[in-house]
Structure 1
């Protein structure tokens, strides 16, 4: 038993001294209902029961974790911090802390990037950084692709496509990755000009019966197969990846693969708007894998188109 007065109650000063906080702190928690008093003395002074000792220590521990008062109250109201409320609050705090840490890492990398830039580069790079939020998000990239994608795409197909084409900003970026992401944001938000085409690819207008979800499901598989070849540093060639690529366009157009179809498809794809810069910057944002640029849907598409174009003379012969 903790010794106290004969009535088993402590004054505010004694309670504060036992926990190692100030009288002002105890009064603050009392006035906000976090630390109920047991009674008042004849002189109107607050008196606290022995359970206040453990409660005040718990409050101090929770506040040391930087938990706001509403969350402290929620925990106190549920079995002195032993219930689900504590787990929920801790999970929320960890998520928020993780977001703040990512923001700080991006800020640090951005500062290092400016520090490492030449005086001639700094003004332009500061403008690039100023257009990107301190905790970068990919909203501008998603909007860019929504303009690119054909209509009537199911939500499932759009989500799968975005997962492939929109690079996730790294949690711990290098200065080069911060600069690449800022440039990527500038690329997708720049005004549309004759040198920056954003029109729909010709294959999107192939026929009234065009089925975009079928196309992009098939392209995702074809790009994955081509990525294997890219990682092996294989030159573009006929095979499973190319057949899957052509089959995706044929199925989406409601036609059959054949020599004439492959010739028409190669011609259509050769006229598509070029967004090579997007894929170059995307590879920089992702960062090298085993010292080499990572495959992207753009590099996979180029590999497949080169393979298709190179196959045409063989098909005609």
Structure 2
């Protein structure tokens, strides 16, 4: 025999108590010298080094015993343990997100429970919640693509930021005011393909913003006239006002986080400029 229990402890970094325990459990064979002290061979050293690694990976003793006894291969145990850890990580990530949101909001017990329930919805339950929200949109073929772009799809293994975004987004879908805004925007969609006025506003207003033109300046008038060439002023103003609802932009930003998309460009400055310019034109016409 090559090692005393103290020498084995120094080589493995394990305590004498731990080695004695593993020996008593039959995981590390030992023999006794004439003085009654335990002695270990190099095979025992190798077994202890493997036990140390497996314990560091949180495998339990029954699983370790089956590996040492060759009842299970190490890859088989590793695969099973990895799957279990993945489940634990998903659960911990959900809890982390819920607790972060609850702490930031100063949530009470009722809100904490609601956040937890939203975080732990099954995929089918999330799909039902989203479908109920999107049912607010009219049954219009033109809106089919819009519905797809508004659909959150939480990945199988979301990170904390995605779960936090999902929690806020799910709450927005239940907001009656936001639902009314969505209906207003969707209800103004023509039943045939036509350029989105918001996209047109972004295209026309961006240069004016970059040039530092104020919406009530005379230099803004050509932009306003071009905007009004596509839509009646009142209709355009109503649509842009609805689109400027901060909840709409917040939903789009949260949606990008949940789906792993690139963050969208903020529309608020562009919409605000266009709305002010249109109203300024109306005010001047009334004078």
Bucket of the pairwise TM-score, normalised by the shorter protein:
0.3 to 0.5
Structure that is richer in helix per residue: 2
Query: What TM-score do the two structures reach when normalised by structure 2?
Result: 0.45
Query: What TM-score do the two structures reach when normalised by structure 1?
Result: 0.42
